Amino acid sequence: MEGIIPLWKEKGMTSHDCVYKLRKILKTKKVGHSGTLDPDVEGVLPIAIGKATKVLEYMVNTGKTYEGEVTLGYSTTTEDRSGEIVDRQAVNPQLSLEAIDKAITSLTGEITQTPPMYSAVKVNGKRLYEYARAGEVIERPSRQVTIHSYERTSDVVIDEDQKTLSFKFKVSCSKGTYIRTLAVDTGALLGYPAHMSDLTRTESGGYQSAQAVTLRQVQEAVDENRLSAILNPLESALTFFPSHRLSEEEWSRVKNGTVFMKSELPVFSEFPIIFYKDSKAVAIYSEHPTKLDRIKPIKVLRTEV
């Protein structure tokens, strides 16, 4: 069994829960996910099975798209609605759409984020959430992320009882982006404590929500002997990278792990390169670390096609 299932992770489940359940449904241990989704978040979670687990790291590196909601008026320990309230400030209901959109626009492009305390980032060998659960707040390393697009997708909603203001958004971003932190930073630019009050991941690893299937649908596909209908080839996760179709002579060399001179191949400006034999991805090559005129195999996917 080999391929990728764009799973629709439901709220209340961890990404590990999904992997565990799929191992039981598919009766195979070689199952992995392409990037954690918080339990409160639903959305697309590409799952690799069999040999397709070899390309997981490349799926993780692709951009992602989310739709969600920012609420101004209070912040929480976890930066989403599941945490305890730590700061509250009544929002002026006359806050203009122009001011909101200006704040959003200023957070596009390459920005610096500080991961939330309730996150899986490791500092000194421990996850940040472990420090947070122990009541410790430590210095966190900032990171550069890219916000390709960030836009408000609704009018604002005023909650007169809670003195809050909410609006929906859509964001396309690089790997490593914390949408919770983006919501908090949006509020800070507007002068208010804020949190992410809702989130759905609509695209990941090149797979969109329309392609995703639930755990129940996977079980039904297995029961009805039509798993192939929802199992995507591992090649579908590699379409973002430059590729080269191998000749018979090149293919025999790739099977032996041969290092190639760059001059033997078309000129490539980006790496890694995916080598194909017929329609199958067989190896991933990248620049040699010391011999700049050569490329070497960094992952062999298949030795037979």
Active-site annotation, residues:
38
DSSP codes, 19-47: HHHHHHHHT-S-EEESS---TT-EEEEEE
Radius of gyration of the chain (CA): 22
| Distance (Å, whole) CA 22 – CA 29 | 9
Give the phi and the psi of residue 109 in degrees, each rounded to 5. 90, -155
| Distance (Å, whole) CA 60 – CA 44 | 12
Contact 193, 88 (CB under 8 A): yes
Q: Which residue has the tokens 């002579």?
A: 249
Q: How many helices (H) and strands (E) does the chain have?
A: 7, 19
Q: What is the DSSP letter of 241?
A: S
| Tokens matching residue 244 | 């080269």
CA angle 164, 177, 64 (to 5 degrees): 100
Q: What is the DSSP letter of 117?
A: S
CA angle 52, 58, 60 (to 5 degrees): 100
Stated as kind and residue range, the H or E segment containing 66 is strand 64-72
